[in-house]
Chains A and B, each alone.
Chain A
């Protein structure tokens, strides 16, 4: 059995206890999407504001476990102020790390670094928790889809 120290890294617990970018944005101009994990009941709401092809602001609300909450918090820091192309690349990189996307040749070519998010790579050793970590990322994609519609 993999040890819990792989899962509950200090930086993860820090984001869990003190989540960044919590709150709401006015819609419109921001776009909003809600994500649910039907298995465990976790809920997350992402507010994304897009200006001139840049994700200029992001807020997160909802409830969930330490993994879903810290992933959302770290994601919000990582994507804020990035171009949409960079955000898409980051989402892809994250999903590759979570083993739910292939690092295929047609992956986005924009260079991005996961930074603190690397702390979440231990989640892969706990397969039932992968969906916790990915919930906020898929919800962000939905919000961006709203923005492009």
Chain B
């Protein structure tokens, strides 16, 4: 199926919130890098489960519980297939993506990183891939090194091997949530391994928009969130190589994660339960499973192609209309960028810009995007960011450009 075979108007119609009219204007949702909207298929799967199937999982003998367990575990298998993970028990459900990286830092990190060890990050990381390492570094006296950026917002890999020399960890994003930059994940994993480091991939912005193959990457860990890929909030996914997960100490203690508990101690459950203490987000995981089905039916390569076309259109439309009045950060080559456009516009502060755009029901993000070190490099406290997904189309890019024009009027520019 090529993208022209997908009825994108029908896709858009699958998202009820996008049909909303506020003050006689349609909703133009351009904040999917923050969180995505939900299709009927996800909403219905969750409602149906709560209405007719709700039950605990993994621990009760009655039929209702068996059905619920099947649905829950089916979602795990869908995720495994979706990212081409070798083994289903390597898929760990967490509270959110942030918790997934914290899990790695607090278990693998505490076990394997000691005073003087080196963790390599990049200048385009989200705070979720910075602060957990800084917390660990403060406690264990680790050194953090940073891969710098080129002028067009790609990773500058000139000194990669010297940065990686002696490192134990390379932890990096597959796609920047600010610049939209796609990083050379397989190359970075290979370089990390050559240096004797493990490779951890922040796949939050990548998995929702691209064909993901953790084996082709040859990564050691990857982590992402449900809510950015049409699923509900409340679930994150950690994938890790089985032998690493086996060797790691548990994260949270409690029910479900134990093999046995005695007065003098406990043993851990097998994977994946070992890392899933307590009652999980049952309804949400089932919703995520429905989201994976939905994305799979459309096809991730079709979605990527659609977003490339749309990014190309939006870049041209904004450039043609505003020329040097708009400064769009990140690479211009759509082969190495996703559908995320962070920009500065005519000196209007991003907060004011998003406020004015809101009058036209155009939803964009304004702020530092949880990437303050990167903001400092860009020389800004904040940027405006428009991000596109499968339900956006060229009319949404046009609406953005029209709304930007009206902002100029208000500020007299």
- In the complex, the answer to whether A4 meets B382 with C-beta atoms within 8 Å is no
**Nearest Cβ in chain B — how far from A58, in angstroms?**
22
Interface centre among B351, B367, B375, B412 (most CB of A within 10 A): B351
**Interface-forming stretch among A22-30, A59-67, A107-115?**
A59-67
Check B411–A65 contact: CB distance below 8 A.
Answer: no
Check B411–A13 contact: CB distance below 8 A: yes
Q: Knowing that A65-B351, A67-B351 are A-B contacts, what are 13 other residue pairs whose CB atoms are under 8 Å apart, sorted by A's residue number? A: A1-B22, A1-B358, A4-B359, A4-B410, A13-B412, A40-B368, A40-B381, A41-B368, A41-B375, A64-B381, A66-B349, A129-B351, A132-B351
Q: Give the residue name and chain of the A residue nearest to B411 (CB).
A: A13
Interface size class of A (residues with CB under 8 A): 10 to 19
Within 289-346 of B, Cβ neighbours of A (below 8 Å) are at none
Chain A: residues with CB nearer than 8 A to chain B? 1, 3-4, 7-8, 13, 39-43, 63-67, 126, 129, 132
Q: Closest A-chain residue to B367, C-beta based? A: A40
- A13-B411, A41-B382, A64-B381 given; A1·B375 CB < 8 A: no
Partner of A40, one of B382, B410, B411: B382
B23 within 8 A of A: yes
Q: Which residues of B contact A129 (CB under 8 A)?
A: 351, 355
B372 interface hit (Cβ, 8 Å): yes
Residues of A within 8 A of B410 (CB): 4, 8
How many A-B residue pairs have C-beta atoms within 8 angstroms? Tell me.
51
For the complex, is B352 an interface residue (Cβ under 8 Å from A)? yes
Q: Quick one: closest A residue to B366, CB to CB?
A: A40
| B contact residues, total (Cβ < 8 Å) | 20
- A65 with B23, Cβ < 8 A, contacts A13-B411, A41-B382, A42-B382 known: no
Flag whether B144 is at the interface (Cβ < 8 A): no
> Is there an interface contact between A40 and B351, defined as CB atoms closer than 8 Å?
yes
Which residues, 389 to 413 on B, are CB-close (under 8 Å) to A? 410-412
Contact call A41/B352, Cβ cutoff below 8 A? no
Query: Which residue of B352, B359, B366 is within 8 Å of A66 (Cβ)?
Result: B352
A sample of 16 cross-chain residue pairs with beta-carbon separation below 8 angstroms, ordered by A number, consists of A1-B359, A3-B359, A4-B355, A7-B355, A8-B411, A13-B412, A40-B351, A40-B368, A40-B381, A40-B382, A41-B381, A41-B382, A63-B381, A66-B349, A67-B352, A129-B351
